[in-house]
Structure 1
Amino acid sequence: MTSQGLHLIRGVSHAVFRGQHDDRAEECSFRFWRCGKGFEISVDGRDVNHTEFHLLWHQLVDDNSLQNLSRFDKWFRLWSEWKTLRDVLHCPTYTLKLAKTGTDMRVAAHLVAGPVDKPAYDMLPVHVSDMDNFAKGLPVCGSESVRPGSWLGHSPGPVRGPDGRLYTLVLCEHRALDAQRGEADMPSWDRIRAYVHLAHSGVDTHCIPRLSSLVTDGGLVAGVLIDHIDSGSSVQGLVEAAVSAEQLLSLEHKLALWRDRITLTVTTLHEHGITLTTPEYGSTIHELNIEVNQHDQVCMLLSFGTVSIVVGQAELEHKTSDMDELRTVFDERLPELIVETRRRLAAA
């Protein structure tokens, strides 16, 4: 089982990320970052059994005690050691193991390895064999010129670029293992390649935010900055938040217009060999990923589900899946949600 969250320990904020434990919580591991340092900690129940710590540990890994990140905004200001994205990508990391110290039955952390220079969270800058050609004609900025601010490493996220403006950062992140094929995929890299391809083509991306800059770190590609979209809500959120039948009716009319815009966007992407749906990673075309700002402008980030640049038979299959998913969103899931919301309003 895995979990993540932000916790306050003795007045200092910690990001606990992807902690893992087995069904009995007897073998556990987790990572956290404090004051710009990374820590990877493992605990084996056999090493701490019959200690006071052993009882406390079971409470710490209880799923019911996990907290939501959004509740801890007030602690983000304590996150002062990471001034730039480069700091986050080059984090001194220590590996620790918790075990009994001797006959007194106390438990202490023992240093296993470190410090090792590692990216925090799941970041993984990528080597590009022909960087000159990959970045040709594109603005490029170094990771030292990108300021993460209160952002905690989840991609995409808001950052400040070299010019001080607000952008959205889409990161290169660790590969994901496809259990069926036994191969490692890198969905984040596929998304970045798609943004770069669209930027090189100069095509009107319609609902897709434009690439503003390639972000590098020591010759590696760390991610891309795209135009920041001040979105108000996802289309699903708008429907769920409706407070009157009149507002819901207005949303139904707007959904038809937004569907046309998304359809035009998907068709344009298909013309450039970019598809958005596979069985392995789901679809970018989703009611939670289609966002609307305060001006009723709709947008869709290439940062959710699948983004592929494919050719041949696979491309045809993916295109068909995209259009099927688009129909599912606008002809099935959203209409069903509207019916549920209308019932709720009528019963209020």
Structure 2
Amino acid sequence: MTVRPAPQTTRRPEPARPPRQARLRALDGLRLVAALMVAAYHYGGRGGDVTEAWGSSPKQQFPTLHEYFAYGCLGVQVFFVISGFVICMSGWGRPLKSFFASRASRLLPAYWVAVVLVAAVFALPMVAYKAVSPSDALVNLTMLQMPLGVDRVLGVCWTLWAEIRFYALFALCVVLPGASRRRVIMFCAVWTLAAVIAQNANMPLLDIVLMPEYAPFFTGGVGLYLVHRDRRDAYAWGIVAVSFLIGQHYAVRNLWNAADPNAFAHRTSFGIVLVVAFGFVAVGAIALGWLNWANWRWLTVAGALTYPFYLVHEHLGWAVIHALHRGLGLASAETFALTIGLMLLLAWLLHRFVEKPLAPRLRAVLAKAR
């Protein structure tokens, strides 16, 4: 009697991290475009504290441009689409420890220095803006000041809180069990449905975790990365389409202020949808390879400067505007351009002397830690 061996079943392995590809330099350029949009909003597209910097409302400084600068706040939504693309790309085929080390080393060194720098500048007697307390400044170093209800040192850090929550969701649902096309599609589908339900559940905890207003932009970027891997993927295109439709709804609902007679500038619903569409189309063009011709090396430098520029440009930019416009008497256009240039220079210094030496060391320490 012969005993036949049990048949062996072979499972087709899920493709691991794709071979290292050429850097998508157009994506670096788009990052800087989004950062400059936000800077234009902070310098000339809103009222509030920036009025103190100019000495009068930016409406008077930029009688026509202020209406266009007001759309610059949508640069944040463009950032979120880019982030969805990049996080899915960087987390694919990477273990959780490596993913965490990569994100922490990317965010923390420049952030820590920016918090200390802005807190120190605002503590100077000649700076007119209110400084946070030393205790609150220390809490800001954790990046958890938003949920703790602590005064923010950096005005833009609310977007980092959204990014951190996205990283946590993606890490737990995709990176930890291992990235695959099916798992990423399920992640986007479940998050989209859960976020829509949370919007009507009237439960603050669900809003904090699921971020209904920002989830469509992150999932849209994730879907575009799936398109980048396979442009014929109908599910990926479906994720992108649904994300855009829901995302533009939230953007219009939150930013269309036609009914407010005291609004700084009246954004049109068409203009808001157009800017949101620009973010999706631009990342989509990069995903499809249509912008591969934009392969200039300076775009890599532009991408490297974007994050430190984004951190420091708002509050320090207001101090510079005050000094140049009210102190030295420079014209509005000259002050605006020179402030952007000085903030880019400061961003380069932070990248050169903070990020480049510290980020690799922090990544190595975290990657080796048990």
TM-score (normalizing by structure 1):
0.25
TM-score (normalizing by structure 2):
0.24
